[in-house]
A and B are shown apart, each in its own frame.
Chain A
């Protein structure tokens, strides 16, 4: 019940990764190898065993709601690949009319 190349492509698309056909074939094989390996967990009896998502159970760690100095806009924008004034600039999000 392994991944086909098309399944792997869908997974890659969702993770926002673009592979060539050749890379996709390799990735599919590696993914299937790993899945075969981790499938051994199916044999472990976990009936009634709670899942562990974290080593500690700290819950609701609060702090006082006091204003503090954060990053300045200049610092936050310093690594931006592209900016417009105080904004991060990105390529077009919604297709333009000329593309129909």
Chain B
């Protein structure tokens, strides 16, 4: 498997494409071959679009021929021919989109998400749709209604979630990059577990149009890639104002690639906050050592470490599970079996049909969250639960703003452990606590990136960097320095067994 052309990065593939050493068709073939060889064991994909990908590759190859012939290489879009995988809660016109739920098992969207249109306009080729926890509600990809995705580093372990299929696809070289969504850590946690680079952008940085809603004030669409530079290239394509998403931001999109490159020249003048609460007891010892070693190396690269505090962060999981479930219970009210999605048979009135469709169509975790959300929003409980959670959310955001007055970014482990075994965490509350290091970014709206910083007992450890609103350039700079400092310890997963 070592000759896989997709072991090359997105930026290297572009160079080879322009030099005529590789074609878009080669890249797509490599992705499809890899999927055929490995995905039976990994289960990253729900739908593979081999035919669509091949047709798109032919079109890109004609563009490449034209660009090379005319000497106008700049005219070739930045992701020309790059095979990408999309989380299956992102709508693709004409290609089934399920959110890993029975209720959408046969849903074929009549339109594409803005982020899909942007990626395709940039030359990216969609090879398939990846597995997730049903409606992105989970931290392991085990709650998919279809199958469990396995971690390419160890098939007995979870890939993290909810964008587990996207991270596993990139880690196993089945796609050069992928798109995930992150409501409470769903891009970053699987990136940490699978050894990929995953970014939750600033809220509103990337359009949510065409992305199946979970918690609308928390949901972000983010890139997952094999390295920091590729992640920066992806965000540059995905970001920007979208007239079809009234919450998308008009903030100009800077050159993220340049920011990522600047991280290789040291971190002089960068103040990195170390929140006491994120380095408290409870982190697995191997994870702590790996993250602290990385911090030390960033200091050697010129960064200044600053102690900061986030006193309300201990409440973040409680706030999140009220806000996210309340928003989910509203968003999921649309699944009624009337206009699309599963409709239960055999009921002779509309009310019973709706209830039966939802009960058959939603899995356990989704139903659990709808109930909790309905609790938080119900008349007698609104003030004590939802309103209270929104006020504590303000306090968490203020903590983050206060911390960022003392530093340019702050850091944490992405997760307290490396990837755990499939079936190991059964209790819902214990599962929710997996997101303790990631949730604050969604509550506050700030960006955060997870970048691999080494291995512990053969499994990747994620290093997380948080920044201010629209502070992605700082995140890419610091993440590139982390990647450089950890290069000696990182490698690809060994997959030759398959």
Q: A-side interface residues toward B, CB under 8 Å?
A: 3, 8, 11-19, 27, 30-31, 33-35, 37-38, 40-42, 44, 46, 49-56, 58, 61, 63, 71, 75-76, 78-82, 88, 90-93, 95
Contact = CB atoms under 8 A, between A and B. Distances in A.
B432 to A, nearest CB: 8
B204 interface: yes
B418 to A, nearest CB: 25
Contact of A51 (B349, B367, B393): B393
6 contacts: A17-B355, A34-B321, A46-B394, A50-B391, A80-B338, A81-B341
Interface stretch (B60-68, B243-251, B269-277): B243-251
Given A38-B318, A82-B343, 6 more contacts: A16-B351, A18-B355, A37-B318, A49-B395, A52-B393, A56-B204
Given A12-B371, A16-B355, A79-B340, A53 B247 contact: no
Contacts of B322: 38, 41
A42 B384 contact: yes
A3 to B, nearest CB: 8
Interface of B: 106-108, 110-111, 203-204, 217, 243, 246-247, 249, 312, 315, 317-319, 321-322, 329, 333, 336-343, 347-356, 358-359, 362, 367-368, 370-372, 374-375, 378, 384-385, 387-395, 397, 428-429, 444-445, 469
Contacts of A14: 374, 378
B350 A46 contact: no
B390 to A, nearest CB: 3
Nearest to B340: A79
Contacts of A19: 359
B246 A61 contact: yes
Contact of A49 (B243, B362, B394): B394
Given A27-B371, A63-B243, A91-B348, A49 B204 contact: no
Nearest to A55: B445
B370 A17 contact: yes
A16 B354 contact: yes
A76 B110 contact: yes
A8 B394 contact: no
Contacts, number: 162
Contacts of A13: 355
Nearest to A61: B246
Given A27-B367, A58-B246, A88-B338, A16 B428 contact: no
Given A35-B375, A80-B340, A91-B350, A42 B388 contact: yes
A54 B217 contact: yes
A56 B208 CA distance: 14
A19 to B, nearest CB: 7
Contacts of B329: 15
Given A79-B340, A92-B349, A52 B390 contact: yes
Contact of B358 (A16, A38, A61, A92): A16
